[in-house]
Amino acid sequence: MAMRKLQLHTKILLAMVVGAGFGLLANRLDLASFVATYVQPVGTAFVRLIGMVIVPLVFASLVVGTTSLGDVRSLGRIGAKTIGFYLCTTVVAISIGLLLANLVQPGSGLSENAKSRLIEGAAQQDAAGKTPRESASIKDVLLNIIPTNPIRAFAEGQMLQIIFFALLTGVCLTLIGAERGGPAIRFFEAVNDAMVMMVHLIMKVAPFGVFALIAAVVTDFGLHILLVLAKYSAVVLAGLLLHMLLVYSLCLRLFSKMGAGRFFRGIRPAQLIAFSSASSSATLPVTIECAAENLGVPRHICSFTLPLGATVNMDGTSLYQGVAAVFLAQLYGMDLSCTQQLTIVLTATLASIGAAGTPGAGIVTLAIVLGSIGVPLEGIGIILGVDRILDMCRTVVNVTGDAVCAVVVASTENQVRRAPTGE
Ligand code: ASP
């Protein structure tokens, strides 16, 4: 009875703590295969349940969001604000990453012995085919946004392509007018509502899923993994924290009337799911619910800004890519010029746009950044070991950044509801 009264985010938080404790114990007692067989599937089932909703939700939500912005002019205004905000915060995030990595120099103080061990280990990972072999070119990333066949894009879950097609569909439904476009718009509204209902149902089992996900990660890695690359991990984590607490609070203060306290309380359930699933896309349904229900952002703005942000806006990922690129360059004894650092800003922006909102996507598109400044791609193997934990943390920032944008856009349109309907 008491359990039923607890708010969802408290239950999820509890599940996380218990999951971590369970994972540590299992790690100590060598119960990895027990956890993999009996516990992890519960987490996988949860992620699959949410994953099932993503494609229909993103498509329907973006079509509805686009059409409900009314005319093409307000779509242009809100679209420009959203994209502008996403780009600016991404560039700020990378700059923070670069600044910290240049100041702290996490790749420099290592002994020659430690360096060669790390580089040797990476070469082995590379030989085992665990690191990306080539980086996609920027041209390919951009061209790949246009689907040649939207149905294939749906089937393969190509989010950028789905977004592109959804936005165009929404614009065209608006252009053909309410009378002709109405039936299709109402259809997508119903699909959207049904998907939101599905998310409500799935969230009822979230604490079990989160428990299993955290337990599995901690059993696999143990918490000591962070110590192996402690300085590098610390720089990434410090950057993420700085960006989340300083930059986002500042944005809220400058562009909205919402206090940081209310914002962070309201978005907490989404942050917890982001942390445990390491996937912005899987978190998207919860992000939409938090923004609409707890932060008072109108549904049509949530429907437009958040699905876009889940794929396009990844401040945490781009910050981490900045740190990783400088760290690896330092390890390989390369001095990065100003032009190379600017290249990192440009390519990490594109790499974070191109990264899917799925676990580990950022480390794959990191290859684009490393390729652009000539750092050997097998360097990725060096940081692979700590990537999962950093991934969980950067996903929290990615999701938080999307929600800040939704609040800021709604505020500048004077559309934030004052009293939240619940948390
Ligand atoms: N897991 C991240 C996300 O879903 C992407 C990444 O950085 O790997 O937002």
pLDDT for residue 156: 87
39: DSSP letter: I
Tell me the pLDDT band of 422, cut-offs 50, 70 and 90.
Answer: very low
Neighbours of 120 (CB within 10 A): 11
Helix residue ranges per DSSP H, 105-158 = 112-127, 138-143, 150-156
When mean pLDDT is compared across 67-81, 125-139, 142-156, the lowest value belongs to 125-139
Interval 116-136 mean pLDDT: 63
Is the pLDDT at 136 greater than 80? The verdict is: no
Question: Is 354 near ligand 1, meaning CB less than 6 Å away?
Answer: no
Tell me the pLDDT band of 2, cut-offs 50, 70 and 90.
Answer: very low
Is the pLDDT at 207 greater than 50? The verdict is: yes
Ligand 1 test: best mutation among 213, 275, 391, 402, most atoms within 8 Å of CB? 391
Q: What is the number of the ligand 1 atom nearest to the C-alpha of 357?
A: 4
- Which domains are present in the chain? 2-412 (1.10.3860)
Question: Is 162 near ligand 1, meaning CB less than 6 Å away?
Answer: no
Instruction: Calculate the alpha carbon distances from 96 to 92, 230, 315 in Å.
Output: 6, 19, 10
Is the pLDDT at 260 greater than 80? The verdict is: yes
Sign of CA dihedral 61, 62, 65, 68: negative
270-307 per-position pLDDT tens digit: 999 999 889 998 899 899 999 999 999 998 899 889 98
Interval 237-259 mean pLDDT: 94
Work out the end-to-end distance of the chain between its first and last CA atoms, rounded to an integer number of angstroms.
19
316-363 per-position pLDDT tens digit: 999 999 999 999 998 888 888 888 889 899 888 888 887 778 888 888
CA-derived radius of gyration, the chain: 21
